[in-house]
């Protein structure tokens, strides 16, 4: 299994990703993550901590690039594994704390930001990579980023695709805490235990109220379809193919805007 599920004092569940050197979000890893969340949801635990193996250099390299379609299909549809696991985290009744060390890439940034709290080691970076890889990120994913960042910070992250230090995300309110790798576990456990001491019923209803209210974004059918048409122009483009080919040929992409 690429994912472990452990419990601490019967109230805290820890989901640990351990899939090779880069924890690429393959359909296999995501199926294991989803199974771990199902176990957590059906247990008596009150808080979930999501982490990678202690000491990793890379928390997750994001969507498995080899699983991105190159045959004209939308690369991030509703049932894409990445979309499913992000909804699983969003819908998980218990609060989910992302305890992050190492670098976070692409769709893994959204996976982390879907969690309810984010606590990162001081050498953690976050790189939002759609523009670098040539992928037209999907509408709900972009909205998920908008829910946790200011528009200027989000546009800088998306347009530059550069890794952003955890301290910058702390300074701009995108994440909750930054601490040393040595303190990360004890700091996170302290917060998890405090949440677990409070009423789980109230915590869960507050999480669901916030989820529903944060998603209350009216969008007309025509507007939705216009955005989907814009995205289709991109994933049907030569640039989309170029982004994936450049990745596997280990060279910088040469985008032409076609």
What is the residue whose two structure tokens read 């979930």? 48
- In eight-state DSSP terms, residue 83 is H
CB-based contact 111:65 (threshold 8 Å): no
- Least distance in angstroms from the C-beta of 191 to ligand LCV: 28
- CA angle (192, 179, 122) in 5-degree steps: 130
Taking the CA atoms of residue 66, residue 71, residue 74 and residue 76 in that order, the dihedral angle to the nearest 10 degrees is -10
Q: 47-106: which residues touch ligand LCV (CB under 6 A)?
A: 58, 61-66, 68, 105-106
Whether the CB-CB separation of 183 and 123 falls below 8 Å is answered with: no
Q: Is 63 a catalytic residue?
A: yes
Q: How far apart are CA 135 and CA 254, in angstroms?
A: 14
Question: Given the structure tokens 């498995």, which residue do they identify?
Answer: 64
- 120: contact with ligand LCV by CB under 6 A: no
Nearest residue (CB) to ligand LCV, 25 versus 191: 25
Of these, 12, 24, 48, 117, which contacts ligand LCV (CB under 6 A)? Answer: 24
Write the DSSP assignment of 154-218 as a string of letters.
HHHHHHH---EEHHHHHHTTSSSEEE-HHHHHHHHHHHHHHHHHS-HHHHHHHHHHHHHHHT---
Taking the complex as a whole, how short is the minimal distance between the CB of residue 107 and ligand LCV, in angstroms? 3
State the catalytic residue, choosing from 13, 106, 134, 137. 137
CA neighbor of 62 nearest in space, from 113, 99, 26, 114: 26
Does 62 qualify as catalytic in the annotation?
no
Residue whose CB is nearest to ligand LCV in the complex, by number? 106
Residue 126 sits in the site that holds ligand LCV (CB under 6 A): no
CB-nearer residue toward ligand LCV: 6 or 238: 238
Size of residue set near ligand LCV by CB under 6 A: 19
Catalytic choice (107, 134, 141, 243): 107
Compute the least distance from the CB of residue 66 to ligand LCV, in Å: 6
Which residues between 129 and 168 bind ligand LCV (CB under 6 A)? Answer: 129-130, 133, 135, 137
Q: Which residues are catalytic?
A: 63, 107, 137
Chain positions contacting ligand LCV, by CB under 6 A:
21-22, 24, 58, 61-66, 68, 105-107, 129-130, 133, 135, 137
């Amino acid at each position: 299994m690429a994912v472990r599920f452990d419990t601490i004092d019967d109230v805290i569940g820890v989901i640990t990703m351990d899939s090779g050197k880069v924890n690429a979000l393959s359909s296999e890893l995501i199926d294991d993550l989803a199974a771990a969340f199902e176990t957590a949801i059906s247990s008596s635990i009150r808080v979930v901590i999501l982490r990678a193996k202690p000491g990793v250099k890379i928390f997750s390299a994001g969507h498995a690039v080899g699983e991105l379609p190159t045959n004209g299909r939308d690369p991030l549809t509703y049932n894409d594994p990445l979309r499913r696991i992000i909804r699983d985290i969003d819908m998980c009744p218990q609060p989910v704390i992302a305890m992050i060390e190492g670098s976070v890439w692409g769709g893994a940034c959204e996976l982390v930001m879907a969690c309810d709290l984010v606590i990162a080691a001081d050498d953690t970076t976050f790189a939002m990579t759609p523009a670098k890889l040539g992928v037209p990120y999907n509408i709900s994913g972009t909205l998920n980023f908008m829910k946790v960042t200011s528009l200027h910070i989000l546009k800088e992250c998306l347009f530059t695709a550069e890794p952003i230090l955890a301290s910058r995300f702390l300074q701009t309110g995108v994440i909750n805490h930054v601490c040393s790798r040595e303190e990360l576990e004890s700091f996170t456990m302290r917060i998890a235990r405090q949440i677990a001491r409070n009423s789980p019923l109230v915590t869960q209803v507050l999480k669901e109220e916030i989820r529903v209210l944060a998603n209350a974004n009216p969008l007309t059918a025509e507007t939705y379809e216009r955005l989907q048409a814009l995205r289709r122009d991109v994933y049907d483009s030569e640039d989309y193919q170029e982004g994936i080919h450049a990745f596997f040929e280990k060279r910088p992409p040469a985008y032409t805007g076609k």
